[in-house]
Amino acid sequence: MKKIVIYIIICLSIPLFSYSNDCNYVMDDSRMERIIQQMQNKQDDNKKMNIIKTYLQRLCLSTEQMSKILNTFGSKEAQVEFLAYSKNYITDIENYNKLIAKKNN
C-alpha cells in the first residue's frame, strides 16, 4: 500500500516540475504595468512581494523591468529581498550584475 501511495505522489508531482521557470516566457510591458499597478494598490511590502513572486514563477523579466518594479517597494529591506529573489528570473544577467555593482557603490 505504501508503494502505491508513493507511486501516486510521484506521478502527480512530475507535471509540476515541467512548469518550472526557465525563462522561455518573458514578461511583456503591458503585463508589467498591470503588475506594478497591483503592487501599488497594496500598502504592505510583504503583499507586494507575494504578488511579484507569483508572477516570477511563470515569467522572467529584464533588468529594466526589475528596476521599475523595485521602485514600488517602500523599504530598503524589501528592495534587497526582491533583488536577491529576482536574480533567478532575469533575462539579461550581465545588466543585472552591473546594476547590483552600482547599488553597492
Q: Which pLDDT tens digit goes with each residue over 26-73?
A: 888 899 999 999 999 999 999 999 999 999 988 899 999 999 999 999
pTM of the model: 0.71
CA angle, 70 then 32 then 53, to 5°: 60
Q: List pLDDT tens digits, range 76-105.
A: 999 999 989 988 899 888 888 887 777 766
Q: Residue 57: what pLDDT?
A: 87
Sequence-ordered alpha helix ranges (H) in 1-105 = 2-18, 29-40, 45-56, 63-70, 76-86, 93-104
Cell output for 72? 514600488
